[in-house]
Amino acid sequence: MKVVDFLAPDAIIPALHGASKANVLSEMAAFLAARQAAPGAIDAQALYHVLEEREQLASTAIGDGIAIPHGKLDSIDRLVGALGRSVTGLAFDSIDGKPTHLVFMLVAPANSAGIHLKALARLSRLFRDAAFRQRLLEAADGDSMYRTIAEEDAKY
C-alpha cells in the first residue's frame, strides 16, 4: 500500500489556519468533505465527531511534530486522507509534549479494519524519517509537499 493510493494531490493544506487541536480537526474535516467526488460522501460534522471521539481515547499525536487523527465512516467506500501543515506548530497533546506541525487525517470505511491499520503503519514508517519530515516542512506549497510524499513513498 502506498500513501499516494489514498492521498490525492489536492488533499493537502500547506498552511492550516487552526491554532488548536479542535480547530484543526474541524478545518480538515470540512476540507476533506468539500473535496469528495460524490456529494455528501463525507459529512464534515460527522467526521469531526468521529475524530474527536478518537482523540478522547488517546491523542493521535505520535511525537516529532506528527499527528495522525483517524476514524471510520459508514458513508465512504474507500480509504481517504488529507495532510495539513502548521508552520508555527500547535498543541495536539503529543506524547513528547512538543508542538505538532504535520497532521495527516485518515478516514476509512466502517468495515475496513485491515486497510486502516496498513495505512497507519505506512504513515508511521514514512514519518519516522527526520529528513523527510523536514522536507515537508520546508516545501514551498501543497504541490511540493505531494511530490515529496510521492518520492518518499516510491522508495519502499
Spatial CA neighbour of 65 closest among 138, 148, 9, 10: 138
Residue 88 burial (10 A CB sphere; 0-12, 13-18, 19+): exposed
Nearest one of 120, 66, 125 to 93, comparing CA atoms = 66
Candidates 17, 49, 70, 101; catalytic one: 70
Which cell is 105 given? 487525517
Instruction: Decide if 70 is catalytic.
Output: yes
Q: 17-34 burial by CB neighbour count: b if 16+ within 10 A, else e?
A: ebeebeebbbbbbebbbe
100-109 and 80-90 beta bridge pairing = antiparallel
Grid coordinates representing 88? 508555527
Rounded Cα distance between 56 and 133, Å, is 26
Q: Which residues are catalytic?
A: 70
